[in-house]
């Protein structure tokens, strides 16, 4: 393990300017809103005003002039009325029953945006209201359940022999709040097909959803991702819905249709993080050794299945935290409620369960009178330990290291002692948490998906081929760095192809902290294969042994003698042979095996590790929590681009601090979301962000490109429980529910 070294050869490990940076800061980057299409119409959605009910009739005001308004209902769907994902339970447009507020029922399009708004006001949907189920604990519709067991025969005895500590932990919805709302344009084609331009994470999700919705073959659909203003998971599955809607309107109108949600509409209608209620029961020895864990986790899936089975799966697989347990039984179910479907959000189930286990560790520390850092260090996973699935950890484990780095960086020991004595209306505290996050798809996901990606030769260098999207995290730059080094090219000579499903190999969705590790690794292998072909070609042209040819800095050489610039070789190769395009399949490490039926085995090929220390000041007049200082230590395997990696850590940490302190959706008793604006759904501003100390550690993953492992989601997992620990330290109260709003802090302090 070592810290980042800046002096090294090649692009990997350096922090060159982002390839998309200049266009974004100068305003040249064209987002969907900047694109206009000849003859385009604007689309709008007629939505349910009740959470649960039976549609009686769609009433179009006869007094309104509908002549230049295109209207679409479920009856206009040429294919199947489903949003294609895991299950087929979600209709593209509700036809008989509505199952959540704001569910789409009909669509309108018009060239004049003002008239479109008026038209929307002249549609009324008569719905016979049914009783909504809004409390997941009362729901009887289980979308999916899981059980993970480790040596369960010893559970009862373990609980009989050791100290039993119990607690229940709750988290609510969280909004992704990407800067750019959901936005797509659909262009009808002469062959009956459709082309979509849109803001999205997963172009092939949209591609397949449109095929089923419109009954089209593969070649009749093209989905092109345009510059995307953030996703955080919120543009994993929802773009299939809005793209389907725009496509239905465009097909009926025979004109391009653009749909861009308003902020309020986006917040009210689209996916959010799953709320969860998590009951933990642990058996612990007096010296702090964790022995046995029983957990029962209930997640609120919302109205339709969407991604809930995989969110719950990842949540339950991380539910034991980064600790060693001799015995475990972890149950999880994700259930239906009549609220908009909950979906992907950075962390994908883990921020919920990590909040529970890490808050529970605080409870254990209090019960045993042990320092919470010591308790974590003592039980932290190490090489050779097993996870509750029986997965034996063999490499790249940094649980203790990240704790030690953060403890030193935050001056934890001194502050723990000093702050414990604070009096008066301002109380300070410091808390620490440990988190881990599996990189790549869960279980056999990558094997089943068979992702493909590659490179092609250009007349000056190479072009990266994939559908992995840059949603702000830096994919374009990082892929270019990895390909540049594998080919011996300067970074400027590598470009990334437009993200188009009709032209690119399916490298899979941009989710699950898989892009750099899984797709980047595949691109690196393809680039290495291209390098070998070109070395052979150069050997032939210059009559030297192929084994002695190499390329560095864009110059081919052999035995220390420069032979030719890469660009010259590339031009000559393309002239002689037409093209060179290498597409590789992702190669899953063969020793990583998982049984989807029993939930035993290696759920992830490797894990990222992170510790967070948070210092707070609690104002006992207003019960507000101020963040004074946050330190993080994060093992990323290898930082391909250290500045972007730190950006991921810092941005994710801020998002997690918002989850911990500010962000809370308020619903009325009929399932209507009351805070749909940035004014009343409160996310952190720059002034809410404290001093941050970010440390990257590099404990390489042997099968990852340059040692890299997934990073994007990990920073979301640990900060919230660290805040809980800090508030406990400051006030003596363990608050097992986030956000730690002043209201909640008040109730705890006055109890």
Binding site for other proteins (CB under 8 A): 117, 264, 425, 620-624, 662, 666, 674-675, 679-680, 682, 684-688, 742-743, 746, 750
The minimum distance between CB 674 and other proteins, in angstroms, equals: 5
Q: Between 87 and 688, name the residue whose CB sits nearer to other proteins.
A: 688
Q: Between 564 and 620, name the residue whose CB sits nearer to other proteins.
A: 620
The minimum distance between CB 628 and other proteins, in angstroms, equals: 13
How, if at all, do strands 221-225 and 549-552 pair? unpaired
The minimum distance between CB 264 and other proteins, in angstroms, equals: 7
Calpha distance 724→740 (Å, rounded): 8
How, if at all, do strands 142-150 and 327-335 pair? antiparallel
Q: Which of 364, 368, 365, 395 is nearest to 382 (CA)?
A: 395
Q: Which helix (H) or strand (E) holds 146?
A: strand 142-150
The minimum distance between CB 100 and other proteins, in angstroms, equals: 20
Residue by residue, DSSP assigns 692-749 as EEEEEEB---TTSGGG----TTGGGTSHHHHHHHHHHHHHS----BSS--HHHHHHHH
Residues paired with 595 in a beta bridge: 600
The minimum distance between CB 31 and other proteins, in angstroms, equals: 20
Q: Between 166 and 743, name the residue whose CB sits nearer to other proteins.
A: 743
The minimum distance between CB 511 and other proteins, in angstroms, equals: 29
Q: Which residue has the tokens 């919705």?
A: 213
The minimum distance between CB 655 and other proteins, in angstroms, equals: 14
CA 357 to chain centre: 21
The minimum distance between CB 347 and other proteins, in angstroms, equals: 22
Q: Between 173 and 452, name the residue whose CB sits nearer to other proteins.
A: 173
Tokens of residue 568, six digits: 């010259």
Q: Measured between alpha carbons, how far is residue 545 from residues 238, 540, 549, 559, 571 in Å? A: 54, 8, 7, 10, 21
Rg (alpha carbons) of the chain, rounded to whole number: 27
Q: Which helix (H) or strand (E) holds 527?
A: helix 520-542
Whether omega before 694 lies within 30 degrees of 0, making that bond cis, reads no
Residue by residue, DSSP assigns 591-622 as T--EETTTTEE-SSS-EEEEEEEEEEEEETTT
Q: Which residue has the tokens 């011996």?
A: 488
Residue by residue, DSSP assigns 387-417 as -TTBPBP-S---HHHHHHHHHHHTTHHHHHH
For the chain, the straight-line distance linking the first and the last C-alpha, in angstroms and rounded, comes to 46
The minimum distance between CB 67 and other proteins, in angstroms, equals: 20
Q: Between 149 and 266, name the residue whose CB sits nearer to other proteins.
A: 266
The minimum distance between CB 684 and other proteins, in angstroms, equals: 7
Q: Between 612 and 675, name the residue whose CB sits nearer to other proteins.
A: 675
* Close Cβ partners of 30 (under 8 Å, ≥ 6 residues apart): 226, 227
Q: Between 559 and 747, name the residue whose CB sits nearer to other proteins.
A: 747
Q: Between 248 and 627, name the residue whose CB sits nearer to other proteins.
A: 627
Q: Between 89 and 688, name the residue whose CB sits nearer to other proteins.
A: 688
Q: Between 76 and 118, name the residue whose CB sits nearer to other proteins.
A: 118
């Amino acid at each position: 393990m070592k810290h980042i070294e800046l002096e090294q050869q090649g692009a990997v490990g350096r922090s060159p300017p982002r390839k998309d940076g200049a266009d974004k800061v100068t305003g040249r980057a064209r987002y969907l809103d900047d694109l206009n299409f000849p003859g385009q119409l604007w689309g709008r959605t007629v939505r349910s005003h009740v959470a649960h009910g039976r549609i009686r009739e769609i009433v179009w005001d006869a007094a309104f002039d509908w002549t230049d308004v295109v209207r679409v209902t479920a009856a206009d769907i040429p294919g199947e009325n489903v949003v294609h994902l895991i299950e087929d339970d979600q209709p593209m447009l509700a036809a008989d029953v509505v199952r959540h507020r704001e569910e789409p029922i009909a669509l309108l399009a018009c060239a004049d945006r003002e008239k479109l708004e008026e038209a929307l006001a002249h549609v009324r949907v008569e719905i016979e209201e049914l009783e909504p189920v809004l409390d997941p604990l009362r729901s009887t519709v289980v979308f999916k359940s899981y059980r993970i067991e480790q040596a369960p025969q010893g559970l009862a005895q373990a609980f009989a022999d050791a100290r039993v500590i119990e607690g229940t932990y709750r988290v609510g919805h969280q909004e992704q709040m990407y800067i750019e709302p959901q936005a797509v344009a659909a262009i009808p084609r002469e062959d009956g097909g459709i082309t979509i331009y849109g803001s999205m994470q997963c172009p092939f999700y949209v591609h397949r959803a449109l095929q089923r919705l419109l009954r089209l073959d593969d070649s009749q659909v093209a989905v092109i991702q345009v510059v995307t203003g953030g996703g955080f998971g919120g543009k994993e599955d929802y773009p299939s819905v809005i793209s389907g809607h725009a496509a239905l309107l465009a097909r009926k109108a025979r004109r391009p249709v653009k749909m861009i949600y308003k902020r309020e509409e986006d917040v009210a209608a689209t996916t959010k993080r799953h709320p969860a209620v998590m009951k933990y029961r642990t058996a612990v020895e007096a010296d702090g050794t964790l022995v046995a864990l029983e957990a029962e986790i209930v997640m609120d899936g919302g109205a339709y299945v969407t991604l809930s089975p995989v969110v719950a799966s990842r949540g339950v697989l991380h539910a034991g935290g980064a600790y060693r347990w001799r015995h475990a039984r972890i149950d999880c179910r994700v259930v239906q409620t009549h609220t908009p479907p909950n979906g992907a959000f950075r962390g994908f189930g883990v921020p919920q369960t990590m909040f529970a286990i890490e808050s529970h560790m605080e409870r254990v520390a209090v019960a045993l009178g042990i320092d919470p850092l010591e308790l974590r260090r003592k039980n932290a996973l190490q090489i050779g330990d097993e996870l509750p699935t029986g997965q034996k950890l063999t490499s790249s484990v940094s649980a203790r290291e990240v704790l030690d780095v953060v403890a030193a960086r935050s001056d934890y020991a001194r502050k723990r002692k000093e702050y414990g004595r604070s009096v008066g209306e301002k109380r300070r505290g410091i808390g620490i948490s440990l988190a881990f996050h599996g990189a790549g798809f869960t279980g056999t996901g990558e094997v089943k998906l068979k992702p493909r990606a590659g490179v092609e030769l250009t007349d000056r260098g190479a072009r990266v081929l994939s559908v992995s999207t840059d949603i702000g995290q830096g994919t374009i730059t990082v892929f270019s760095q990895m390909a540049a080094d594998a080919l011996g090219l300067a970074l400027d000579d590598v470009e990334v192809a437009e993200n188009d499903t009709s032209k690119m190999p399916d490298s899979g969705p941009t989710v699950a902290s898989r892009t750099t590790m899984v797709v980047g690794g595949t691109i690196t292998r393809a680039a290495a294969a291209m390098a070998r072909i070109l070395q052979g070609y150069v050997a032939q042209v210059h009559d030297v042994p192929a084994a002695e040819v190499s390329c560095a800095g864009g110059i081919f050489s052999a035995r220390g003698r420069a032979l030719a610039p890469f660009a010259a070789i590339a031009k000559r190769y393309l002239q002689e042979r037409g093209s060179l395009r290498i597409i590789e399949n992702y190669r899953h490490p063969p020793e990583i095996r998982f049984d989807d039926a029993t939930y035993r085995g290696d759920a992830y090929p490797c894990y990222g590790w992170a510790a967070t220390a948070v210092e707070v000041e609690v104002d006992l007049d207003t019960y507000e929590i101020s963040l004074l200082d946050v330190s993080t230590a994060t093992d990323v395997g290898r930082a391909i681009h250290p500045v972007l990696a730190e950006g991921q850590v810092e941005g994710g940490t801020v998002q997690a601090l918002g989850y911990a302190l500010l962000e809370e959706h308020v619903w009325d008793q009929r399932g209507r979301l009351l805070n749909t604006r940035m004014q009343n759904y409160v996310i952190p501003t720059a002034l809410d962000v404290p001093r941050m100390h970010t440390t990257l550690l590099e404990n390489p993953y042997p099968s990852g490109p340059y040692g890299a492992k997934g990073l994007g989601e990990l920073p979301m997992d640990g900060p919230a429980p660290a805040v809980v620990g800090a508030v406990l330290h400051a006030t003596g109260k363990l608050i097992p529910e986030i956000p730690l709003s002043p209201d909640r802090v008040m109730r705890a302090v006055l109890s």
